[in-house]
Structure 1
Amino acid sequence: MKQLTLRQNQIYNFICAQGVASNSEITAHLADSAEKVSRITVVRDIETLLKNKYIKRIGAGRSVKYKEYNNNILLRHYDAVAYFTTEAEQRVCKETFNFAVFRQFGKIFAAPELRRLALLTKEYQQNLAKIKPDIYRREMERLTIELSWKSAQIEGNTYSLLDTEELLKNNREAAGHRKEDALMLLNHKTALNYIFAHKMDYQKLTLRKIEDVHRLLIKDLGVSYGLRNSLVSIVGTKYRPLDNRYQIGEAMENTVRVLNSLADCFHKSLAAIVLLSYIQPFADGNKRTARLIGNALLVAQQACPLSYRSVDSVEYKKAMLLFYEQNSLTYFKELYLAQYEFSVKNYFLV
């Protein structure tokens, strides 16, 4: 999609918030926000939004109004740079869990995106068919090291990639780091090995299978198993996950139902990552569990697992916050697509 200007983003977000809006309402909104622009400038901005399918026109003549082009809230566009210029406490956002998101995951990839994913998957499968067993083992080890490092880094782990390699290959802890950092990385390795050894088990997901991966990831880290009984808070957002164990259980049942109903592993994987992160079902280790379950759903269908090696940790967190606060998947989907291509082009090559 075309990159919007700050004012065009403001117009688009106003239309989304209102449901429908007229030209005069848009102009008045801009004036209220100290953005004094001429009518012709507003018309030009609206035409840009129409041309690029951010909005659509309804009605005609003087009664014409504008509404969001896509009715799926998950596909609502937000400019991440513009969005995060506003501090968390000032951002207008959804502060509580939205159960309506479960109805929206049916078609979150466009046809061209699915075609690209299919081509990449074919390339990955062709590489696997040709790769020698010893090279395959080394590539699995490399992917495990790099995924463990990046996944832990997103959670604040201070190990470098080289220190992670030394730890996971030779069980040597790096000096000057917490014991918990080493355990977090070693637990990633254990959980990944378990997933790859039982990958066909994830063709159908259950709550027990999610909990089993979580249990491996948080072993010896002082985190309780099972669905949490207490409130959790998330840094940098007003969003607060569910704090009622019954509702958490209901949300997880809905998640498992939705994931098992989706048509392909890419919809399943992406939905699993964002939903488990959004629900925060456990006392800790939620996003780690989400990333590994996302990979389990990929490898269960012979698709390439993600290492996230090239993703920027801050941008990953921003993309997740956009889903928490606005239920918008677009930025995270962009990162996901880039990471899938990165993994296919960088692992298991022949």
Structure 2
Amino acid sequence: MPKKITIDTDARIIAELGRHSAGIGMDALHSLLKDVISRRTLQRRLAQFVTEGQVIREGKQRGVRYRQSPGVITGQVNITESPDTMEAFGEVYVPLSPESEEIRAYVRQPRQMRTPVGYNQSFLEAYYPNETFYLPLELREQLRQIGTPPDDERPAGTFARDILNRLLIDLSWASSRLEGNTYSRLDTQRLIDFGQAAEGKDALETQMILNHKAAIELLVNEADLVDFAPYTIYSLHALLSDGLLADRSACGRIRHRPVDIGGSVYLPMAMPQRLEELFKIILSMAKEIRDPFEQAFFVMVHLPYLQPFEDVNKRVSRLAANIPLIRHNLCPLSFIDVPERAYVEAMLGVYELNRVELLRDVFVWAYERSCQQYLAIRQELVPPDTFRLRYRQALSAAVKAIVLQQLAPTDETVSAVIPSAVAEEDHDKFVKLVFEEFETLHEGNAIRFGIRPLEFAAWQERTTHK
């Protein structure tokens, strides 16, 4: 399934609605826009516009019509006021450098006015780890200053674990929203905290959120193990793409077929052998980079540019960008409040021009926003449970063992699966901790213990009817 990236479609949708003052149905509207947007993406955009008040939805079922809300401006007028750039139809853009404005102006041109390009290997070859920098020294020092917690001399992943519950919601929601997911943040919180899927949402949207949750937990819970090895990135892709690809065998595997990017003139490389070779080169180069922020930005540039997987490449790059931040105990990057259009246009600048300035502006703004969120939140958190942290792997193993054996959690069954890593004097407290986990265990959070949905369902069915 080719990737679909929305480019300048928001203005087109609003403009078309403005031409039909009495409203227009989905079929008729899509027939006018099918050259730039898929039907499913159009449905998602319209739902978002309705939520934002830009569009009015009238009628029921097949009689549903959409019309522009009174007072919405359909022209492409820019109002620039430091420090933010506002679009006339109400969208907030990130602050831009002059170089970024050049990129934005280019990618906003109609597709037929942009030069078709393929993968440019010299773009990667021009980068020398620790000699070439996409982020200048002053900027890297600024990011480190705002992203370092006061007590940074702690084990890898400690800061991310401190704010894990908030990070799971924010990053799952924000990253999914950049892919057109219409879940609200509150919907996302209910899904992650209570396993409640939002009514009226596509099942694939629910799956996308849960996939993000599983991938983020992998990064945080295994912070001392994950790095830029191929296995880590394959695992991230497998978790993020689970249930979303037509070919299930494509999860966690280099693609074996060509892909294109809707709305772009960039055509990614098609040869599987060459893709795998370049994929490993990119990760090897990323490993060599010493600065965590440069590492993060490098993978945000080159993983999506290569498009090593059939789909979900940008999602992989956004989560992979957090690997060095989590490992260095820095504030993670959640992409909270990042304007979708700014991110899409930034990626098009990389794809079609091999220029990183616009993506750099998005990255810096997004990181500053994340730091404002999490450094403030962390000051209000209850100190972490050191006992739970010490035995988190043993705890996961014990819970998983009971579920896979389809046993009810009792003193006897829990005592039988206590790992040898748990000191004998800690057994009673450990058993109590296992019971606490089972009190809050449900299908939405079972993946934290490596338990798959079918395994959880089988355990629940067995223990409920005993």
TM-score, with length taken from structure 2: 0.55
Letter in 1 for 2:235: D
Question: Could you say if the C-alpha distance between residues 278 and 136 of structure 1 is closer, same or farther in structure 2, counting changes exceeding 3 Å?
Answer: closer
The equivalent of 1:185 in structure 2 is: 209
* Aligned positions of 1:211-222 closer than 5 A: 211-222=234-245
Pair 1:275 & 2:302 matched = yes
The equivalent of 1:50 in structure 2 is: none
The equivalent of 1:198 in structure 2 is: 222
The structure with the greater share of residues assigned to helix is: 1
* Aligned positions of 1:310-325 closer than 5 A: 310-325=337-352
Pair 1:119 & 2:145 matched = yes
The equivalent of 1:142 in structure 2 is: 166
Which of the residues 199, 206, 215 maps onto 1:175? Answer: 199
Q: State whether residues 136 and 348 of structure 1, in contact with CA within 8 Å, keep that contact through their aligned partners in structure 2.
A: no
Pair 1:107 & 2:133 matched = yes
Letter in 1 for 2:209: L
Q: State whether residues 160 and 326 of structure 2, in contact with CA within 8 Å, keep that contact through their aligned partners in structure 1.
A: no
Question: Could you say if the C-alpha distance between residues 299 and 137 of structure 1 is closer, same or farther in structure 2, counting changes exceeding 3 Å?
Answer: closer
The equivalent of 1:247 in structure 2 is: 274
Q: State whether residues 269 and 294 of structure 1, in contact with CA within 8 Å, keep that contact through their aligned partners in structure 2.
A: yes
For the pair shown, the structure with the greater C-alpha radius of gyration is 2
1:78 offset after TM fit, Å? 5.3
* Aligned positions of 1:2-21 closer than 5 A: none
The equivalent of 1:86 in structure 2 is: 109
Could you say what secondary structure the match of 1:287 adopts? helix
Letter in 2 for 1:109: L
Could you say what secondary structure the match of 2:256 adopts? coil
1:137 offset after TM fit, Å? 6.3
Residues of 2 paired with 1:299 and 1:136: CA distance?
Answer: 6
Letter in 1 for 2:126: Q
Residues of 2 paired with 1:76 and 1:99: CA distance?
Answer: 23
Question: Could you say if the C-alpha distance between residues 221 and 85 of structure 1 is closer, same or farther in structure 2, counting changes exceeding 3 Å?
Answer: closer
Could you say what secondary structure the match of 2:294 adopts? helix
Letter in 1 for 2:278: A
1:321 offset after TM fit, Å? 0.5
Q: State whether residues 78 and 330 of structure 1, in contact with CA within 8 Å, keep that contact through their aligned partners in structure 2.
A: no
The equivalent of 1:301 in structure 2 is: 328
Residues of 2 paired with 1:138 and 1:110: CA distance?
Answer: 30
TM-score, with length taken from structure 1: 0.72
1:258 offset after TM fit, Å? 1.1
Residues of 2 paired with 1:182 and 1:259: CA distance?
Answer: 32
Letter in 1 for 2:290: A
Q: State whether residues 107 and 349 of structure 2, in contact with CA within 8 Å, keep that contact through their aligned partners in structure 1.
A: no
1:121 offset after TM fit, Å? 2.6
Residues of 2 paired with 1:258 and 1:103: CA distance?
Answer: 10
Q: State whether residues 80 and 331 of structure 1, in contact with CA within 8 Å, keep that contact through their aligned partners in structure 2.
A: yes
1:322 offset after TM fit, Å? 0.2
Aligned length: 268
Residues of 2 paired with 1:164 and 1:129: CA distance?
Answer: 32
Question: Could you say if the C-alpha distance between residues 240 and 309 of structure 1 is closer, same or farther in structure 2, counting changes exceeding 3 Å?
Answer: same
Question: Could you say if the C-alpha distance between residues 214 and 128 of structure 1 is closer, same or farther in structure 2, counting changes exceeding 3 Å?
Answer: same
Question: Could you say if the C-alpha distance between residues 126 and 138 of structure 1 is closer, same or farther in structure 2, counting changes exceeding 3 Å?
Answer: closer
* Aligned positions of 1:17-56 closer than 5 A: none
Could you say what secondary structure the match of 2:337 adopts? coil
Higher relative contact order (CA 8 A, sep 6+): 1
Unaligned runs of 5+ in 2: 1-97, 380-466
Pair 1:258 & 2:248 matched = no
Letter in 1 for 2:259: V
1:335 offset after TM fit, Å? 0.9
Residues of 2 paired with 1:238 and 1:284: CA distance?
Answer: 17
Residues of 1 paired with 2:133 and 2:195: CA distance?
Answer: 44
Q: State whether residues 96 and 242 of structure 1, in contact with CA within 8 Å, keep that contact through their aligned partners in structure 2.
A: yes
Could you say what secondary structure the match of 1:345 adopts? helix
Residues of 1 paired with 2:295 and 2:240: CA distance?
Answer: 21
